[in-house]
Structure 1
Amino acid sequence: MILYLHGFRSGPQSQKVRSLADRLASRGLGEQLWCEQLSPVPFEAIAQAEAQIARCAEPPTLVGSSLGGFYVTWLAQRHGLRAVAINPFVPHAAFDQSLFIGEHEMIYSGERFRFTEAHAMQVAALEVTRISRPENVWLLAEEGDEVLDCRVAVARYAGCRQTVLPGGDHSFTRWDDYLDEVIAFAGLA
């Protein structure tokens, strides 16, 4: 089973989720993907994912993009799971989290939500400063990410499997090129 956690303001309708769902379905594995709309409240999003992890008969592989990549890193550490972090959010001194405080709209549903200082503190509480099982984590990053500095992720995920590609952007433009490898990493090949 693959549990996919989308990024801030994104959702299950994202291109990455649809591409992964299509590839799994083409292999007869369509039922092996879980992705639902995550709460914009960090602790609630984590609770949603942990509830799904608890329902899995076998340990799932976590895949997440941006803030979802941050979440899957924390969940992988907590539960000893494998994780693929795609252009993940990585807190660091130069990143101004206050840029996210305020009103936002979900890209696909149009639902509005308010991200508060308390929510930013929840994100800070979930930070993983050292990955204790680097063999379980795979970083996928593009150097052209205009939202997050991939060098920060490369440093944080030191010792992990890393695929760092030139160019691209925050959406991870070469996602479709890595679908089969992600599926194999999840043990579904």
Structure 2
Amino acid sequence: MTSVLLYLHGFNSSPGSAKAQQMAAWVSEHRPDIEMIIPAQPNTPAAAWAAIAHSIEAARGRYGAQLRLGAVGSSLGGFMATRVAEHHGCRAALINPAVRPHELLQDYLGPQTNPYTDERYELLPAHMDELRALAVPVTAPERLWILQQQEDEVLDYRKALDEYRFARLSLECGGNHAFVGFERYPAQIVRFLGL
């Protein structure tokens, strides 16, 4: 089997985000047998999902039945990683995951600039429809591990507790949306993903 770890960044983020790089550094040092994929997702939901799906299909093309897939997603990436877990039957670790992002991102409609890439684009009501269409019910919560910090200033952590109520949960007091101290978790995440 060939292990592939798919890391999905959040809204207005990039593969250069701190957690993505911490995860990649840990994998490179401790588990170089794992192929880590951090797709650069376009800024709009349907295009982002298409990029994620393409990355998975490319890995399937390389490894076929030998592919062992695991996903990690932060914020909006957690929403996408939930979809990956449901569509591909793999495990996923979700870090401060976005719940019902079609409601959450209503406040962000209009001109946007991705601070990592400097790309400018407009977030439109049609993109909220795309997010609604991408949502999937959680049918196998045992495949999910939620890492949540209560002082997340962007997302209400209680929504994640409700949405993923039967999943494995690590809830920490304090912290923030970036997830303070994430470097404590890569080894445990890889073990949970079964990679």
TM-score by length of 1: 0.92
- Which of the pair is proportionally richer in helix? 2
1:142 to 149, 160, 185: 149
Partner of residue 75, structure 1: 84
2:18 to 15, 18, 24: 15
Partner of residue 110, structure 1: 118
> Which sits farther off after the overlay, 7-16 or 20-29?
20-29
Q: Structure 1 unaligned segments of length 5 or more: list them.
A: none
Q: Which one-letter code corresponds to 2:93 in the other structure?
A: V
Q: Report Cα offsets for 1:21-47 as digits up to 9, x if no partner.
A: 111111251762100210112111111
Q: Report Cα offsets for 1:138-184 as digits up to 9, x if no partner.
A: 11110000000001001100111111111000001121111110111
Partner of residue 33, structure 1: 36
- Whether contact under 8 Å (1:134, 1:160) holds in the other structure is yes
| 4+ long deviations beyond 3 Å | none
- Whether contact under 8 Å (2:39, 2:52) holds in the other structure is no
Change (3 A) 1:92 1:34: closer
TM-score by length of 2: 0.89
> Which sits farther off after the overlay, 25-34 or 143-152?
25-34
User: Across the two proteins, how many residue pairs are aligned to each other?
Assistant: 186
The separation in 2 between residues aligned to 1:31 and 1:178, in whole angstroms, is 16
Q: Structure 2 unaligned segments of length 5 or more: list them.
A: none
Q: Report Cα offsets for 1:54-75 as digits up to 9, x if no partner.
A: 2222131111101110111122
User: What root-mean-square deviation, in Å, do the aligned CA atoms of Structure 1 and Structure 2 show?
Assistant: 1.7
- Whether contact under 8 Å (2:82, 2:92) holds in the other structure is yes
Partner of residue 94, structure 2: 85
